[in-house]
Amino acid sequence: MTHVVVIGAGVIGLQTAVSLLDAGYRVTIVAEHYPGDSSVEYTSMWAGAQWRTHATKEQEESKWDIESYWYWMGVIERGGQTKDDMGVEVYPSYFYWANQTPESASRSSIWFADLVRNFAFLPPTALPPNTYAGIRYDSIAINPPKYLAYLYSRARTGGATTIREKLPTDKGMVAAIEKATSIVKSVESTYNDVDIAAFINCTGLAAGTLVPDPDVYPIKGETLLVRINDVFTPTFRSDINTFDPTSHVPAIFTHVDEAIPSVTYIIPRPGTITYVLGGTKEPDNWDTASNAGTLSDIQNRCRALWPALEHADFKQVASQVGLRPGRRGGARVELEEVQLGRSDGSKEGRKLAVIHHYGHAGAGYQNSIGSARKVVGLVGEVFGKSLAEELMKRAGGGEIGSRTGLLTGMKTEDEDDAEATGRRLAEAVMKYGRV
């Protein structure tokens, strides 16, 4: 069985591992941090996290976002234990622009308007103060600690070996890979050197020093996790053209003001009565401390955005700081052939495939499904596997699956559901015109 080593166990590394296992590879994960760790170097623990695409129509990330959206919608629709274990939930999402922007013009200026559920522009009667325009659509919130634990458990039950180890970051990619190779060799008794066919570099922000990649930079984000016992959560009602103040349905609220370097959001945390209040976006800020003034500003902005919060009594559960793995030029999902040294005794050393998979900035969750599928495709290309053949197999030979390449690495408990989800996905992307 082809053996692939994934470096990193954040949402990107774990999703990659699960997708590779589903595609039939043998997988070992080597990482310093795993689910449950609360290090600031482990960004995935500190995400909001919601589906709110940041991509433009032209960027590849837009396709990944839509793939993740429909994958999660499929899981939520099916409900049951898997959904609860994953910690994902669908909510009405209200998004506001403080000022006029190209996107705020009309439905036709929003590339995902026809690709998400229940999209509509909000009437002026439903806008909070100091807001130019607003939209609503069904979106998804993710509970990061639960979601990461779910992915870890899926990787383990799928057969992955997990090794906790910090690889050297100051001597370059080759040194990190050689160290990882010797660790895998010492841990896995059945190890056969030629078996490790590829490494997938999912080291997030650390890739900046490990690769090294000068385009990688931190984007500091501060948030508050609060418990709100019972609060009226307004829900938009089209019959009265404004919000119903008696509703208790939780919702996601986001407000973007281009004049300030932050974004205000309120995100319910699925499976709990807590909410994430955010937030800040500070490029190139490596400081990992919470700032009392910033936290108070976040609370004030959130109370203004969601009037029901104005007088609500909420209890702060935690203040959180995370460093998003920003990258100028966008996430890197790319194959590199790395020349190893001669430690294996060969005359010239040997070449090894490294697939870089890092730099997802503030979109690692929403990118994760589609981005990991791309990695599975690249691994398949490296080993001469026919991607089309793989897709045909996974799509049950279906025309849509083979035409779109959307089902790579996807496997759910229920094949019928998987096909239905895949078909919806395919239809969405076909409609979007990026098959």
List C-alpha distances in Å: 332 to 170, 213, 239, 435.
20, 10, 46, 21
Q: Which is nearer to ligand FAD, 115 or 202 (CB)?
A: 202
203 labelled as ligand-binding?
yes
Q: Which is nearer to ligand FAD, 46 or 395 (CB)?
A: 46
Least separation in angstroms between CB 206 and ligand FAD = 3
| Residues 303, 178: Cα–Cα separation, whole Å | 52
Q: Which two tokens stand for residue 44?
A: 């995935």
124 φ/ψ angles, rounded to the nearest 5 degrees = -55, -30
| Residues 249, 1: Cα–Cα separation, whole Å | 48
44 labelled as ligand-binding?
yes
Q: Which is nearer to ligand FAD, 222 or 390 (CB)?
A: 222
| Residues 289, 357: Cα–Cα separation, whole Å | 28
Least separation in angstroms between CB 97 and ligand FAD = 18
Chain centroid offset of residue 323 CA? 14
Please report the sign of the dihedral spanned by the C-alpha atoms of residue 326, residue 330, residue 334, residue 336: negative
Q: Which is nearer to ligand FAD, 222 or 419 (CB)?
A: 222
Please report the sign of the dihedral spanned by the C-alpha atoms of residue 417, residue 423, residue 429, residue 434: positive
43 labelled as ligand-binding?
yes
Of 89, 90, 75, 87, which Cα lies nearest the Cα of 35? 87
Work out the angle between the directed axes of helices 364-382 and 60-78 (0-180°, nearest 10).
110
Q: Which is nearer to ligand FAD, 107 or 166 (CB)?
A: 166
Least separation in angstroms between CB 15 and ligand FAD = 8
Q: By the 8 A CB rule, do 404 and 91 touch?
A: no
Q: Which is nearer to ligand FAD, 196 or 361 (CB)?
A: 361
Least separation in angstroms between CB 293 and ligand FAD = 17
| Residues 212, 208: Cα–Cα separation, whole Å | 5
Cβ neighbours, 10 Å, residue 113 = 16
Least separation in angstroms between CB 321 and ligand FAD = 8
Chain centroid offset of residue 353 CA? 24
Q: Which is nearer to ligand FAD, 49 or 338 (CB)?
A: 49
135 φ/ψ angles, rounded to the nearest 5 degrees = -130, 165
74 labelled as ligand-binding?
no
274 labelled as ligand-binding?
no
174 labelled as ligand-binding?
no
End-to-end CA distance of the chain, in Å? Answer: 31
Least separation in angstroms between CB 44 and ligand FAD = 3
Q: Which is nearer to ligand FAD, 97 or 365 (CB)?
A: 365
341 labelled as ligand-binding?
no
Residues in the site for ligand FAD, rule: CB under 6 A? 7-13, 31-33, 42-44, 46-50, 166-167, 169, 202-206, 210, 221, 223, 279, 322, 324-325, 358, 360-366
Q: By the 8 A CB rule, do 62 and 53 touch?
A: yes
Least separation in angstroms between CB 51 and ligand FAD = 7
Least separation in angstroms between CB 166 and ligand FAD = 5
Q: Which residues participate in the annotated binding site?
A: 43-44, 184, 203, 265, 324, 362
Q: Which residues are annotated as a binding site for FAD?
A: 43-44, 184, 203
Binding-site entries for D-dopa:
265, 324, 362
